[in-house]
A and B are shown apart, each in its own frame.
Chain A
Amino acid sequence: MIGFLGLDVGSVSTNLVLLNEEGRVLKSVYLRTSGRPIAALQKGLRQLCGLLPAKTAIRGVGATGSGRHLAGIIAGADVVKNEITSHAAAAYRLVPGVRTVLEIGGQDSKIIIIRNGVVVDFAMNTVCAAGTGSFLDQQAARLNIKIEDFGKAALKSAAPVRIAGRCAVFAESDMIHKQQMGYDLPDILAGLCEALVRNYLNNVGKGKDISDPVVFQGGVAANQGMKAAFERALQTEVIIPPHFDVMGAVGAAMLARDYVSRGIPTKFKGFGAAETDFRAGSFECDGCPNLCEVVEIKEEGRVIARWGDRCGRWSIRVAREKIS
């Protein structure tokens, strides 16, 4: 069997998927990055290797997420793509006709506007991460409920409490205040979902033409309370696609499939990459007062990549991405 691999190394989660030749998702792995992207990726590769159907040949690899360059170097990716393009690619192939993609991940949120299968506009959160997955995680932990139960609990609410959602820190103070006033937990949770949706639509979604069909993806889409809050705010049905939590990886794998279909051989290093010794280190360059922090990736003690320098003194030149 021929398969395509998608790797999404994000700030909070690391996801891997295996697609078959038709682009169907066969296997997926969802792991916490826990601040150690190399270890998470290697663990993911090991797990995915164990799930592979017999005689699978990986013909293409795509990497995305904030750790995409790292993942690309370690696994040997054919395509290294930004999160927006990857998420859009997955959305319009899994949900044909989609016009709006809402995506909320661990530390970022984005909106992608698609018309006739082409991205025509997008935005990402800029100066604020209120309302992303990390904040929901933190609040669930503080309220002592499992993040998996957060959404279900919020759905029980009949009268959501209004919470100030402008800033994550103030949202928390406001929630504590509402708890101490004696409001019910489900009402507070539902209120928080509404506050986050409001914040998202006012910041990320500002000025964007949000129209049907609307897809909601990213880790936070698992939260039924958030889906319901979006539906109330937008007055429309919000679709949660299959594999919503690994859409970035799905998109990257699809882009890799497109890329190698032109007869380009894959650069995949094989699942052995999970056992190779990769080390990332950094040092401060003292060539000028800018003091760039240069990152160095070593494979078995040999430097295979460097980045982070402004002037190019250290970086090994990586072949430019040509526009096709």
Chain B
Amino acid sequence: MKVTFPHMGNLWICLEAMLEYLGVETVVPPPSTKKTLSLGSKHAPEFACMPLKLNLGNFMEASDLGADTILMAGGCGPCRFGYYAQVEYEILCDLGYRYSLVVMEPPERHISEFLARIRQITGNRSWLEVIRGIKFGYQKARAVDGLEMTAMRLRPREIDPGSTDAALSAALEEIAGARRPEDLPPAIGRAREIMGGVPVEDRPVIRVGLVGEIYTVLEPFANLEIEKKLGRLGVEVDRSIYLSEWINDHLFMGLIRGMRSSSLYKKSASPYLRHFVGGHGLETMGGAVYYNSLGYDGVIQILPFTCMPEIVAQSILPGFSRDTGMPVITLISDEQSGDAGLQTRIEAFVDLLAEKKRRKEWSA
């Protein structure tokens, strides 16, 4: 059995760690590229959203590397994603790929359901080992998130353009390279050291909260590297969703306390939206309110074209913006989106935020 899974930002680092710890042979798909997207778009339904197309491309490319089992997330609810595992699997079957499919549905009642599904992959390892494996993967997710947060803080302040991103990829390699749980703490130490070596200067920055659909928020290929682009324009970014928070919320059912969680967003969204609308629509709305309460300068919503839950949030955001004076922009990404269009919009948005901030400081 050679297990593969779709890419979503740096998710691969923690999944690979978890699976290899448990002795499961793993095939990480090549990073998502234009080739991945064209493979996926060719065989996916036109009207499906971009994540489906990229997942499909990832699986096709992983198959070339020998993968034979797909580990995929599922879900239930208004978002179509809940059915993507099955749809992708059917498309792959039609194309003649020989895969078997294991879907990780979020536990409906108890974490034991989730553990039972893990066993499908891990066979007869002891429960203790399985739990240790999950813990190892989760600790890597925390480490990765920490490094990404550092990078988002450094980018607008770096003296030498591009040095943060070079440091970030070197630091992530350290984390990815830790084979055993005991290797992880020293690897984290080295990674932090690498990030600490980026020369920065104290500059006034603009703070922007990135909200939206999880895949487009987390996957740089899907959002055309918006964090990097914003960073280079002097913007410090925070995103409403991090990998480790998502794992805690959806797979551990919030077992780990003291973390920012979706209940925070649910609470802050309540003046505007009080229902689950599928996907991350509620989190998007709550995130916007949350960033406003923290005094951020602007909010950027990002979603894949045709994403229903985010369209719900998108239609509420102008009202929020009117009430609070918080500038909000919505960016839609799909396989047709161009880099130039995104660049123009974010440059204009950053100009707007900078001017607004300058006026506010004058009048203060």
Chain A residues with a Cβ under 8 A of chain B: 66, 81-85, 118-122, 124, 126-127, 207-209, 288-291, 310, 312, 317, 319-323
Contact (Cβ within 8 A) B33 A289: yes
In angstroms, Cα B232 to Cα A120, docked, is 22
A291, B165: Cα distance in complex, Å: 20
| Chain A residues whose C-beta falls within 8 Å of the C-beta of B30 in the assembled complex | 289
Of A66, A84, A209, A317, the contact of B162 (CB 8 Å cutoff): A317
Task: Given A291-B35, A323-B203, A323-B204, verify A119-B347 contact (CB < 8 Å).
Answer: no
* Cβ distance A224 to chain B, nearest Cβ, rounded Å: 29
Task: Report how far A121 CA is from B298 CA in the complex, Å.
Answer: 11
A289, B34: Cβ atoms closer than 8 Å: yes
When the two chains form their complex, are residues A290 and B356 in contact, meaning their CB atoms are under 8 A apart? no
In the bound complex, CA of A81 to CA of B354 (Å): 14
Q: B356 touching A120 by the CB < 8 A rule?
A: yes
CB pair A118–B305 under 8 Å, yes or no, is: no
What residues on A are CB-neighbors of B233 within 8 Å?
Answer: 321, 323
Knowing A82-B344, A122-B348, A290-B33, say if A322 contacts B203 (CB, 8 Å): yes
Q: How large is the interface on B (under 10, 10 to 19, 20 to 34, 35 or more residues)?
A: 35 or more
Given A85-B348, A122-B352, A310-B35 contact (CB < 8 Å): no
Closest chain A residue to B160, Cβ basis: A317
Is B34 within 8 A of A321, CB to CB? no
Tell me the minimal C-beta distance from A81 to chain B in angstroms: 8
Residue numbers of B with Cβ under 8 A of A are 30-31, 33-36, 161-162, 165, 203-206, 225, 232-234, 305, 315, 318, 321-322, 327, 332, 336, 340-341, 343-345, 347-352, 354-356, 359
User: Do residues A120 and B34 form an inter-chain contact, with CB atoms below 8 A?
Assistant: no
CB-CB nearest in chain B for A113:
B352
Q: Cα distance A289–B321 when bound, in Å? A: 41
Check B327–A121 contact: CB distance below 8 A: yes
Residues of A within 8 A of B204 (CB): 323
Instruction: Report the bound CA distance from A288 to B343 in whole Å.
Output: 23
**A residues within 8 A CB of B165?**
312
CB distance from B340 to the nearest CB of A (A): 6
**B344 partner, pick from A83, A207, A208, A291, beta carbons under 8 A:** A83
In the complex, the answer to whether B234 meets A310 with C-beta atoms within 8 Å is no
- Chain A: CB-nearest residue to B232: A320
10 sampled A-B residue pairs with Cβ under 8 A: A81-B347, A82-B344, A85-B352, A118-B355, A118-B356, A119-B348, A122-B349, A207-B315, A290-B34, A323-B206
Which single residue of chain A is at the shortest CB-CB distance from B348? A84
Residue of A nearest to B345 (CB): A124
Residues of the B chain whose Cβ atoms lie less than 8 Å from the Cβ of A81: 347, 351
Q: Tell me the bound Cα distance from A269 to B344 in angstroms.
A: 25
> Chain A residues near B351 (CB, 8 Å)?
81-82, 84-85, 119
> A127 touching B336 by the CB < 8 A rule?
yes
B340 cross-chain contacts in A, Cβ below 8 A:
66
Residue of A at shortest CB range from B204? A323
Which residues of B are found within 8 Å of A119, using beta-carbon distances? 348, 351-352, 355
Besides A66-B344, A120-B327, A310-B225, 14 new A-B residue pairs in contact (Cβ under 8 A), listed by A number = A82-B345, A85-B351, A119-B348, A124-B341, A126-B341, A207-B315, A209-B322, A291-B35, A312-B165, A320-B234, A321-B234, A322-B234, A323-B203, A323-B234
